[in-house]
A and B are shown apart, each in its own frame.
Chain A
């Protein structure tokens, strides 16, 4: 029996050393003392692992100040609990890698167009992992627009990589993006906590992506956002994506991670209140296809936004089991627009086959209601909304019922783009074939606007759609509507 135990212990030690040995960055000269710039040592460890076909680069507990880290094929960065990889502040002598040249910068923001000016970056790689319960801090990155060489603006930037797995890490104060993944095939993001000063995850032109069990607090920009930019120099859809079991919010920066969930800073830089939502767009030269969002919580942030405005086709989207609280603009915002920030001649896109079900929302801003709006000649098609309950703030008078919101075809898409809307619940314009089933709307304060504004709507079936109406207020404003069925 004793001999058998010894064999077992020996086996465990062997297995343990096999799993955790890796390439310890301290063996390559990293200090982890919070003072030394450790990126040369970290990059040496990565090179050493690559030289033997790949491996795990291990960060033991400590604070590793770093400039750009260059991922390679078959590399795993593993941050042990207590390890902090921190973006250092650039100096006149040292800093992050310069942004690589790109011919396509005019079609998307500076941050989207370059990858090398980042803390961790990889281009054209395969089999990459970033794991462990450590923290990656973008302390020395900027969220702003500086073009000074040496300034970095992304925590993790990946372009045209295959097989990416990021799990368990915590990302804080990450600059423009906690993660920018563009043109990535097969990516899993799981059990990641993000508390940041601009975007959380930007998943751009990616295919086959799993996002699960993540918490993203991003009060000053979108928390989880799917895009289809022209950064690759070609049109590419974002498709085959599932987002599930996630929490997104717009609490004061850092207050999700410390567990205090503060609300002292309600305003966002764009002056439209805290962001922190799940969104598709704005960059939408390519399209969005076969995407599901399920079992997610939105809190103290903007609502769900699906936008295609640069020519992309959005279709076959399924969203279910969403709960929202303290939403600062439209709980649900669907916009097909014609901004066309794409190569000249790109036609207007399309939005169709969108299913949204089992949404409960409490304390939603009432200025804009839920918006589903295409543009003249390009309607949003085949939308189903079912089992939805929304409690709005309410409080608007019937004087606003005469407002005719502008079309603003080319304007940046946000619920605020139409100004105050004339209805209390839903604003539907340029829509073809919409079904609303088992939908309940109520108000914390009486709202004297009609529940629905319908304009240029062809085919609208409402079944068990309940909303309280004040005396003398009509249920519908209708302009150029055909095929309306309103059934109890």
Chain B
């Protein structure tokens, strides 16, 4: 998998697209996509990245986002933690954009409406699945976020700010997914987006250990044993 990164925006390519993830913050009536933060300090951390975010929306606080690609499947796991965070701060993210054949990197927007057509999002408390592709070649990406996450459908045509996106609603031809959870100082939160197989099948309680395992690996490896579940029949995900 190629994991494209632009600050705190990520694109999945394996080799077809696996969607895009874009992160932001909401505090009351203010909101900010992290890529627009006043300061983003990024550094390579073994196989992943560590990004330190500071911005007036955080007051004197600082947010740390650590990212690791996954070994057993295509995907990534994020660890988010912060210090001196303001009360009521919420982490918000956008995910979607599976409807294209090649990874499209736009300097102005990482999750383009034209990449969202016919994407379908199943939501199960704090877990989600994106269905995309075609009937003959259906593709599936899965995700897990903190237990207290609220998931909702949103409009990729309305991404001028996280707040606008969060409240954009589902009446759109460019459906994408929005997720949001509160952030408290000193707490650690995990987010995972992945393509499921026999070795990669996650609930939230598995993510801390998953992140620790991936962060401890110093070299890039791919587990060749990772295959779809053996009893996924030929009509897996058909009706």
Residues of A within 8 A of B (CB): 89-92, 105-106, 108-110, 113, 139-148, 151, 197, 220-222, 252, 264-265, 267-272, 275, 282, 339, 341, 412, 414, 416
Contacts and interface: CB of A to CB of B under 8 A. Distances in A.
B239 A265 contact: no
A268 B198 CA distance: 25
Nearest to B173: A266
Question: Which of A92, A221, A267, A341 neighbours the largest number of chain B CB atoms within 10 Å of its CB?
Answer: A267
- Specify the main secondary structure of chain A where it touches its partner: loop
Nearest to B238: A412
B175 A265 contact: yes
A142 B124 contact: yes
A448 to B, nearest CB: 26
A106 B135 contact: no
Question: Which of B118, B133, B147 neighbours the largest number of chain A CB atoms within 10 Å of its CB?
Answer: B118
Interface stretch (B15-23, B29-37, B61-69, B229-237): B229-237
A270 B125 contact: no
In the A-B complex, the 10 residue pairs with the smallest Cβ-Cβ separation, listed nearest first, are A269-B131, A92-B205, A105-B231, A271-B135, A267-B118, A272-B135, A412-B235, A264-B170, A412-B238, A269-B120
B203 A151 contact: yes
Given A109-B235, A145-B236, A271 B203 contact: no
25 contacts: A89-B147, A91-B205, A92-B206, A106-B233, A110-B231, A142-B124, A144-B142, A144-B196, A145-B229, A147-B198, A147-B229, A148-B201, A148-B202, A151-B203, A220-B120, A222-B239, A265-B120, A271-B120, A271-B138, A282-B238, A339-B235, A341-B233, A341-B235, A412-B234, A414-B135
Interface string B114-139: 00001110101101010111110010
A146 B201 contact: yes
Interface in B204-237: 205-206, 229, 231-237
B171 interface: yes
B231 A113 contact: yes
B77 interface: no
A110 B229 CA distance: 10
Nearest to B232: A145
B153 interface: yes
Nearest to A143: B122
Contact of B233 (A90, A109, A271): A109
A282 B205 contact: no
B210 to A, nearest CB: 13
B122 A270 contact: no
A339 B233 CA distance: 12
* Interface size range on B against A: 35 or more
B235 A282 contact: yes
A282 B239 contact: yes
A144 B129 contact: yes
Contacts of B229: 110, 145, 147
Given A144-B142, A148-B201, A151-B203, A267 B120 contact: yes
Contacts of A282: 235, 238-239
B161 to A, nearest CB: 22
B122 A148 contact: no
A270 B233 contact: no
B122 A221 contact: no
A108 B233 CA distance: 7
B135 A416 contact: yes
Contacts of A91: 205
A108 B234 CA distance: 9
A108 B231 CA distance: 9
A269 B122 contact: yes
A270 B234 contact: no
A144 B124 contact: yes
B236 A148 contact: no
Contacts of B124: 141-144
Nearest to A277: B239
A140 B202 CA distance: 15
Contacts of B235: 109, 282, 339, 341, 412
A152 B84 CA distance: 39
Contacts of B198: 147
A154 B18 CA distance: 28
Given A109-B233, A148-B201, A270-B138, 5 more contacts: A89-B147, A144-B142, A264-B170, A269-B237, A271-B118
Given A146-B201, A220-B122, A265-B175, A270 B238 contact: yes
Contacts of A221: 239
A447 to B, nearest CB: 23
A144 B201 CA distance: 11
Nearest to A302: B239
Given A268-B120, A271-B138, A275-B239, A148 B203 contact: yes
Contacts of B120: 220, 265, 267-269, 271
Nearest to B132: A271
A312 to B, nearest CB: 16
